[in-house]
Structures are given as structure tokens and as C-alpha cells.
Amino acid sequence: MERTEIRVGTRGSTLARTQTGWVVDQFRARGHEVSVELVSTRGDVVTDVPIAGIRGGDGVFVRELERALLDGRIDAAVHSFKDLPTAVTPGLELACVPLRASPFDAFVGRSAPTIDQLPPGAVVGTSSVRRVMQLKALRPDLLVRSVRGNVDTRLRQLDDGVCDGLILAAAGLGRLGLESRITEVLRPDAFWPAVAQGALVVQIRSGDPRMAAVVGAIDDPASHAAVRAERACLAALAGGCLAPVGAWARFEESFLHLGACVLGPDGEGVATILSRAVGALAETPEDLGTRVAADLCRQGAEGLLALGRVAEARRREA
């Protein structure tokens, strides 16, 4: 008898299970039988160093799930899209992007409600290179502390006084019902989100028409096009999901708009290169992303990323 149950894989964190639960509910509402398989990833196990410091840091939250897909242990994997490297794993397909939540970062303040209002020397918790660089550009007088773990763990550290504020993804807080903890939403041009932030993606095996039909039913074409443009920009810059690149694509009056920035060290400060473009009628999201990346490169983005890699290597050796 042909197996009809769909096995969906996810990481075990509360946020990952909540996100996957929403996807599973969509499948069940369409009459599918679904079971959930928890898969532990290297990024979940190694929590005592920043993500960029983990060997093979690009993709540390997805590789084990991808292996489970390739091995046939699961039929689909649900990821936070921003965790996926830009290179698609052979044999797998990024088949579905449901409606995107907020793409922006959020500040959760303890001693002040906004970053501007923090006193000099205040400590802000984050382990993201992109967030650290933008924070330094806004407030070079603040201190940064690496804070990892799930959302609840990081909020607990904030409440215990480990830091004066946290920078987290607004979407994650929203999905966990913790919107009330947000004291400031961080938006471009002052603060650019990670590529594909706020978006989920359902990954399946290539050449699986049954699963392609199942997941395609919950795809949101506008969200999918936006993250395709952002990821194409990142890929053209030869950056992985940990590169200090920010991007935000969205539709306005039926046209896809993409803005992106590259961050890098500039002496004691932070240098930022910014580009924006509007998609042409015959242009694909990938074309738009590549065009914005080319403009960033003309402005010196490749050199900036190279400087950033050198600075990060020195930080790891220190």
C-alpha cells in the first residue's frame, strides 16, 4: 500500500516547532495526514560560540535536515529562509515560500526603549555580524555582547541583566506571541534586515511531483519573488547567509523594489555601500538581484566584503 502520510522535518527549538506547526496546519487543512520529525542540527548543539565561529557556519541550522530529506527519512523540511546558504543543495528544491512575516529586526530594550536612548557604554546582545556592524555604525559608543540560544533563553538573559537590550528578528517574536516585548522596530535605511528574513521555506526532494503539489498550495508568489531577488543579490556578491549583507525586496504598485547594502570595517568605523532598483517588466527577480549586486560591486562592495572577512578571521584568532 502506498504511504500517504507526509513526514515534515524541523529543528527542535520552540520557534522552529511553532513555525513548522503553522505549515503542518496548512497541510492538514487541505486533507493531508502529517507527522513531524525533530532533527537536531549543529547550530542547535553548539551554543557557546557565535554562529560565524562554528566550523562550516554557513548552513549550520539546515545540513542535518537536508540529509534527512536526501535519505528519505522526511518528505519536507521547514526552514527559516535566512538560515539557508545561497547555493542550493543538489537533489533538493526550495519549493514553497508562504506569506512572509515582518522582514525587519527589532530592538528589545530593558534600560531604554530605543537604541538612540541607550546611555553610552550600554550593552546590546547579538551574535550576528550584520547586526553588530550596523549597531556600531549607529552607536559606536555601545558595547556588544554575543548572545546565543533560543529566543526564550536570550530574553531571559536580558531580564537577568546580562545586557541592556537585544536585537532579534521581529518575525520570530511575532510567531511566538511576544510582540509586546518589542520596543523598537529597526527599518532601512538605518538598519537593514538579513536576506530572506521573516520568510519560511519548505524544502523537498527534486523530482517529487506529489510533494511539489502539496507544498505549492501554500506558496505566496509575491513573498517568493521578493526572497528570490534578495538571495540572487547575495549570491552574486559571493556571500553566504552569514555575510554582512542586508536586503529588502517588496512589491509596490505591481513593481518589485529591491534595496541592499554591504557592510564592512572602515578603520575604527563601519563603511556601508547601498543600492536600490525597481524591477523592469520583463525582468525576473533573479535579474533584479543580480543588477543590484552589480551596482554594489561597482561601488566597491567586493573589497568591503574582503576586509570584513579579514576582520572576522582576526576576531576568531583573538
Q: Is 18 helix (H, G, I), strand (E, B) or coil?
A: helix
Whether 240 is in a domain gets the answer yes
Q: Are residues 68 and 126 in the same domain?
A: no
pLDDT tens readout for residues 117-165: 999 999 999 989 899 999 999 999 999 999 978 899 999 999 999 999 9
**Confidence category of residue 304, pLDDT binned at 50, 70, 90:** confident
Q: Is 106 helix (H, G, I), strand (E, B) or coil?
A: strand
Question: Which residues, listed in sequence order, are joined to residue 265 by a DSSP beta bridge?
Answer: 270
Residue 55: pLDDT over 50: no
pLDDT tens readout for residues 250-284: 999 899 999 999 998 876 678 899 999 999 888 99
Q: Is 23 helix (H, G, I), strand (E, B) or coil?
A: helix
For the chain, the distance separating the N- and C-terminal CA atoms, rounded to the nearest angstrom, is 59
**Confidence category of residue 178, pLDDT binned at 50, 70, 90:** very high
Q: Is 259 helix (H, G, I), strand (E, B) or coil?
A: strand
Q: Are residues 263 and 120 in the same domain?
A: no
Q: Are residues 264 and 208 in the same domain?
A: no
Q: Are residues 115 and 175 in the same domain?
A: yes
Query: Which cell is 108 given?
Result: 528589545
Whether 193 is in a domain gets the answer no
Q: CATH number of the domain that 206 lies in? A: 3.40.190.10
Query: Which cell is 187 given?
Result: 527599518
| Nearest alpha carbon to residue 211 among 1, 6, 3 | 6
Whether 1 is in a domain gets the answer no
pTM of this prediction?
0.89
Q: What mean pLDDT, rounded, does the chain reach?
A: 89
For 31, residues 6+ apart whose C-beta sits below 8 A from its C-beta are none
* Structural domain boundaries enclosing 207: 6-98+200-219
Q: Are residues 245 and 312 in the same domain?
A: yes
Neighbours of 313 (CB within 10 A): 10
Residue 300: pLDDT over 60: yes
Query: Which cell is 116 given?
Result: 538612540
Residue 194 main-chain phi, psi, to 5 deg: -70, 155
Whether 195 is in a domain gets the answer no
Q: Are residues 205 and 244 in the same domain?
A: no
Q: Name the residues annotated as catalytic.
A: 83
Whether 191 is in a domain gets the answer no
Q: Are residues 247 and 309 in the same domain?
A: yes
Distances (CA, A) of 304 to 200, 235, 236, 242, 298: 29, 16, 15, 15, 12
Whether 227 is in a domain gets the answer no
Whether 224 is in a domain gets the answer no
φ/ψ bin of 300: left (φ > 0), alpha (ψ from -120 to 50), beta (otherwise): left
Whether 194 is in a domain gets the answer no
Total domains, the chain = 3
Residues 231, 288: contact at Cβ < 8 Å?
A: no
Residue 273 main-chain phi, psi, to 5 deg: -115, 130
Residue 309: pLDDT over 80: no
